[in-house]
Amino acid sequence: MELSIKRLSGNALLPQYATPGSAAMDLRACLDAPVVLSPAGAGDGYCQMVPTGLAMAIPEGYVGLIFARSGLASKHGVAPANCVGVIDSDYRGEVKVALANHSPEPYTIQPGDRIAQLMISPVVQPLITEMAQLPETLRGEGGFGSTGR
């Protein structure tokens, strides 16, 4: 499979896999100047759209999934605001990452910083069938915590 990418800015950096075993590639901030994410609960500015300067043609039958970088999220509280971003195969605009600062401290994103991970994954679009009754299972309607600790 091939992922076609177009740079929309001269300082945009192509995604890269950090190691040979990486499942996702790093996306980098395409900024002219640093951007400060305010602390959580401080009002406006704790969540901002961070551009990557890239557009891409995800092949039909696939989706681009944007995940947090584990170190950025666990050490600094900075992660995608929508938890997982979805890039549909028919989208051709700039890929941006809605980053939120969940920590009590401001966090500064520098131009070129690795801000998220992009994974390309197959998509299954099932036929929807409305049923009056669903097939029975051992679990049934048991919800959160129903299987024990």
Cβ proximity of 109 and 31 under 8 Å: yes
User: Which secondary-structure segment (H or E) carries 70?
Assistant: helix 70-76
pTM for this one?
Answer: 0.88
Q: Give the model confidence (pLDDT) of 86-110 as tens digits.
A: 999 999 999 999 999 999 999 999 9
Closest CA to 54 of 69, 62, 64, 68: 64
Q: Dump strand ranges (E) for the chain.
A: 4-7, 25-28, 35-37, 47-51, 54-57, 62-67, 78-80, 85-87, 96-101, 107-109, 114-122
Cβ proximity of 33 and 112 under 8 Å: no
Cβ proximity of 80 and 40 under 8 Å: no
- C-alpha 99/C-alpha 115 separation (Å) is 8
Q: Give the model confidence (pLDDT) of 13-38 as tens digits.
A: 999 999 999 999 999 999 999 999 99
In this prediction, residue 149 carries a pLDDT of: 76
Residue 14 token pair: 């192509």
How far is CA 107 from each of CA 8, 84, 103, 125, rounded to the nearest angstrom?
26, 20, 8, 39
| Res 44 pLDDT > 80 | no
State the amino acid at position 56 in one-letter form.
M
